[in-house]
Chain A
Amino acid sequence: MFPRKNIPVKKIVKQAIEAGYTDIMIVHEDRNKTKPDGIILCHLPEGPTAYFKINSLKYSKEIKGVGESTSHYPEVILNNFNTRLGLLISRMLVCLFPQDPNFVGRRVVTFHNQRDYIFFRHHRYEFKKEGEKTALHELGPRFTLRLKWLQNGTFNPTEGEYEWVLKRHEMETSRRRFFL
């Protein structure tokens, strides 16, 4: 995790591809520098770039009764990503985590999609009553993401081709049609 120090994003992308990274995540903060506002998620080397807006962020310190997180590789749960676009986004999010979950750690990260909002939650679970009930202990931050656009290729908003753009006036006319 590094601060960006005003280096142009395209340069960062180039250096990261050479260094062999699989994804880049850049977190924006809002103008008053109070809280994170958006995430640019760029899959390397030539993968799609997605831009999410962050709503309702709560840090671990603000959550009541929060537990301490460990360093076990978590299991990732993806809920309700039904459309083609949703599957693409869910796979992009999964790529951020290592692919072999440590079940011993009982640590789970959930991306739940509902009505085009993706809810991120981070829990430790424990099975009670011989596997019939689970108790969840919340760890880590919670926030919701909203996909603003998905672009083909690495980060290039001026010249790249957009596979999906959220156009509020055109797309949000129906209360039942969702895109993710």
Chain B
Amino acid sequence: MCDAYVGAATGAFKCVSFKDGKITNANTIAELIPKETEITAMCYGDTEQTEVIACQANRKIKLYNSITNLYSELFTVEGCEGKIVGLSMLAADKIITAASSGHLQIWTPEGKLLTSDNWNAGNDIFAFDKKPSSSSIIATAGKENLLKVWDVETHQTTWSARSVKHDKLNLRVPILDNALRFLNENEIVTVTGTSHIRIYDPRTQRKPIHELKYMDTPITALSLCHRENHIIASNTTGEMGLFDLRGGVKLLYKFRGFSGAVRSISAHPTEPFVISVGIDRHIRLHNIDTKKMVKKIYAKVRMNCCLIKNQNECALVKVEK
């Protein structure tokens, strides 16, 4: 049974079963052209998680239906440049895409553009997330692009962050947000290329309320996990850690077993499992409570995105030595 979906840098869309240790490709490899078909973002198409929407480097949106096992093309995102950084389902028939040129667009699954105006979040967006409890609030952030919270209906910024103070040498800290998540009803967490993890609270102030510098390489991947107010983040040298965000940012422990940069982390919302995927061509399943690596599967290509399924058999996987 499929436990997770992984999108590769060559464009292969893989279904992973950790119990059997098997990976199956949903699309034909021979048809892929890595520079164009590289999968840049993935999200679930519905709440039952039977459909997965993936977008490629050439901005084609593809739909994977897990019941029919078909990987078909939906439409091509036009009117923006750069790769699609974030993707989310707003409602049953609306998909919102964020491109790295800053264009935020809402589409129907057939490909009709619903937003007619030029809704732009600024150049060079790297991070995008939708607030899980509401279908009209999203946030974007990127390179020299401060964190902004948008209202989907009015296309306006409801709140934006301010840049942090200069560092100890009185140098300007560059703004390079790599990933962001809505932590809970009130707080937003971002991870940056300057190795910082920052928490913002739009109700109180525009500067981050807490900040932690985690090692010295850029932090590239972020995920919430089954514990409330905890996140899992990882940087380009493969140091993945569990952080407690109650009252500050504190590193609880690091996960072992990585050898290369991690590009995407996906943790289960209620079970203590987390999968991580990166350019060292392995998919790793860790157990958050026991801190151990449960399974490591070799997938022959470098991977960009991953999604863990709510219904999975991870608990049945035997821990490998």
Contact = CB atoms under 8 A, between A and B. Distances in A.
B216 interface: yes
B257 A163 contact: no
A167 B259 contact: yes
A163 B238 CA distance: 9
A160 B236 contact: yes
A170 B279 contact: no
Contacts of B281: 84
Interface residues of B, number: 18
B256 interface: yes
12 contacts: A158-B217, A159-B218, A160-B236, A162-B217, A162-B260, A163-B279, A163-B302, A165-B237, A165-B260, A170-B257, A171-B259, A179-B259
Interface in A121-180: 149, 152, 158-165, 167, 170-171, 179
Interface string B253-293: 00011011101000000000000000111000000000000
B279 to A, nearest CB: 5
Contacts of A161: 220, 236, 260-261, 263, 279
Contacts of B217: 158-159, 162
Nearest to A163: B260
B142 interface: no
B193 interface: yes
A163 B216 contact: no
From B217, B236, B257, name the one whose CB has the most chain A CB atoms within 10 angstroms: B236
B236 A170 contact: no
A152 B279 contact: yes
A179 B261 CA distance: 16
- Range for the number of chain A residues in contact with chain B: 10 to 19
Per DSSP, chain B at the interface is: loop
Contacts of A165: 237-238, 259-260
Contacts of A167: 238, 259
Interface of A: 84, 149, 152, 158-165, 167, 170-171, 179
A116 B238 CA distance: 20
Interface string B171-201: 0000000000000000000000100000000
Top 5 A-B pairs, shortest CB-CB distance: A161-B261, A161-B236, A163-B260, A165-B237, A162-B237
A167 B260 CA distance: 10
B260 A164 contact: yes
Interface in B271-321: 279-281, 302
A107 B220 CA distance: 46
Given A84-B281, A152-B279, A162 B256 contact: no
Interface in B216-230: 216-218, 220
Given A159-B193, A162-B237, 15 more contacts: A149-B237, A152-B279, A158-B217, A159-B217, A159-B218, A159-B236, A161-B279, A162-B217, A162-B238, A163-B260, A163-B261, A165-B260, A167-B238, A167-B259, A170-B257
A152 B216 CA distance: 17
Contacts of B256: 170
B280 A163 contact: yes
Contacts of B238: 162, 165, 167
Nearest to B256: A170
Nearest to B176: A159
From B216, B238, B263, B302, name the one whose CB has the most chain A CB atoms within 10 angstroms: B238
Contacts of B259: 164-165, 167, 171, 179
Contact of A164 (B216, B220, B280): B280
A116 to B, nearest CB: 12
A17 to B, nearest CB: 19
Nearest to B217: A158
B175 to A, nearest CB: 14
